[in-house]
Structure 1
Amino acid sequence: MSRTVSPPPSKRRKTSVSSAAPLEDLQLFRIYSHNVNGIQPYLQRSITSFFQYSAHNPEPRAHAHASLRDFLRRHHWPELLFLQEVKINPDDIATIRAFERSVRPNIDDAGAPDYVTFTCLPSDKFNARGFGRKVYGVASIIRKDFHDQYVERVRHVDWDLEGRFLVIETKPIRNILRLAIFNVYAVNGTDNPYKDPMTGEVCGTRHDRKLKVHSLLQSECRKLERRGFRIIIAGDLNIARHRIDGHPNLRTFPYQHCLNRADFEARFFGHSIAEHSDTETTRSQVDIKDVSNPSAVIEETGSSLGMVDTFRYLHPHQKGYTYYSRARPFGESCDRVDMIIVSSSLKPYLRDAGMLATPAERGPSDHVPLYAGLDFGRSLEWLMRKHSQSNIHQ
Structure 2
Amino acid sequence: MPKRAHATEGLEEGKLHPAKRLRASQASPEAVVEANSSQFTGTETVTSSATAGERPSITTVISWNAETSAPFLDTHPRKLASYGITSSATKGDKPNVLRQLITRHHFPDFVCLQEVRGRHGDTEWIAALAAAANGAEGPKYKAYTSLNRATRGARHFGVVTFAKDPSQVAVAREVEWDVEGRVMVLEMHDGWALINVYALNGSEYPWVDQSAPNKPTGKTRNQRKREFNKLLLEEVKQMQARGLRVVLIGDFNISLTKRDCYPRLRTEYPHALARKEFNEVVIPQAGVVDIFREVHGDKKGFSWFAKGKPQGTDCARVDYALVDRSLVDNVAEIAYLEDQEERAHSDHAPILLKLRDMDKIEQLD
TM-score (norm 1): 0.71
Does residue 36 (structure 1) correspond to residue 66 (structure 2)? The answer is yes
Q: What residue number does 1:78 align with?
A: 108
Paired letter, 2:71: P
Q: In structure 1, how many angstroms separate the alpha carbons of the residues matched to 2:221 and 2:297?
A: 31
Q: Offset of 1:171 from its aligned partner?
A: 0.6
Counterpart contact for 1:43–1:99, Cα < 8 Å = yes
Counterpart contact for 2:64–2:351, Cα < 8 Å = yes
Change (3 A) 1:233 1:31: same
Identity of aligned residues (%): 31
Does residue 104 (structure 1) correspond to residue 134 (structure 2)? The answer is yes
Q: Offset of 1:102 from its aligned partner?
A: 1.9
SS at match of 1:31: strand
Q: Offset of 1:94 from its aligned partner?
A: 2.1
Change (3 A) 1:380 1:209: closer
Structure 2 gaps of 5+ residues are 1-8, 13-30, 35-39, 46-55, 76-92
> 1:87-113 CA distances to partner (integer Å, 9 max, x unpaired)?
12433322211122222331xx2xx22
Q: What residue number does 1:140 align with?
A: 161
Structure 1 gaps of 5+ residues are 5-16, 46-62, 173-177, 271-303, 388-394
Q: What residue number does 1:326 align with?
A: 307
Q: Structure 1 stretches (4+) deviating beyond 3 angstroms? A: 1-4, 63-66, 195-199, 377-381
> 1:236-276 CA distances to partner (integer Å, 9 max, x unpaired)?
000111111101122223x2110000011122334xxxxxx
Q: What residue number does 2:28 align with?
A: none
Counterpart contact for 1:18–1:73, Cα < 8 Å = no
Counterpart contact for 2:119–2:149, Cα < 8 Å = no
Q: In structure 1, how many angstroms separate the alpha carbons of the residues matched to 2:222 and 2:10?
A: 40
* Greater alpha carbon shift after TM alignment, 84-93 vs 348-357: 84-93
Counterpart contact for 2:114–2:197, Cα < 8 Å = yes
Change (3 A) 1:367 1:232: same
SS at match of 2:219: strand
Q: In structure 2, how many angstroms separate the alpha carbons of the residues matched to 1:269 and 1:377?
A: 22
> 1:308-365 CA distances to partner (integer Å, 9 max, x unpaired)?
1111111102111000111422221000000011110011111110010011211111
Q: What residue number does 1:308 align with?
A: 289
Q: What residue number does 2:202 align with?
A: 189
Q: In structure 2, how many angstroms separate the alpha carbons of the residues matched to 1:379 and 1:168?
A: 17
1:345 is aligned, of 326, 335, 346, to 326
Within a 5 Å distance, the mapping from 1:108-257 to structure 2 comes to: 109=137, 112-124=138-150, 130-131=153-154, 134-143=155-164, 146-148=165-167, 150-172=168-190, 178-196=191-209, 197-198=211-212, 200-253=215-268, 255-257=269-271
Counterpart contact for 1:43–1:67, Cα < 8 Å = no
Counterpart contact for 2:10–2:140, Cα < 8 Å = no
Cα RMSD of the aligned pairs, angstroms, is 2.7
Paired letter, 1:342: V
Within a 5 Å distance, the mapping from 1:18-33 to structure 2 comes to: 19=33, 23=42, 27-33=57-63
Counterpart contact for 1:31–1:80, Cα < 8 Å = yes
Q: In structure 2, how many angstroms separate the alpha carbons of the residues matched to 1:113 and 1:84?
A: 22
Change (3 A) 1:377 1:136: closer
Paired letter, 1:203: G
Does residue 335 (structure 1) correspond to residue 316 (structure 2)? The answer is yes
Q: In structure 2, how many angstroms separate the alpha carbons of the residues matched to 1:217 and 1:71?
A: 29
SS at match of 1:200: coil
**Higher relative CO (CA 8 A, sep ≥ 6), structure 1 or 2?**
2
Does residue 376 (structure 1) correspond to residue 357 (structure 2)? The answer is yes
Counterpart contact for 1:214–1:267, Cα < 8 Å = no
Counterpart contact for 1:239–1:261, Cα < 8 Å = yes
Q: Offset of 1:379 from its aligned partner?
A: 7.8
Counterpart contact for 1:66–1:363, Cα < 8 Å = no
> 1:167-195 CA distances to partner (integer Å, 9 max, x unpaired)?
000112xxxxx111111100111101123
Q: In structure 1, how many angstroms separate the alpha carbons of the residues matched to 2:208 and 2:143?
A: 30
Q: In structure 2, how many angstroms separate the alpha carbons of the residues matched to 1:180 and 1:233?
A: 8
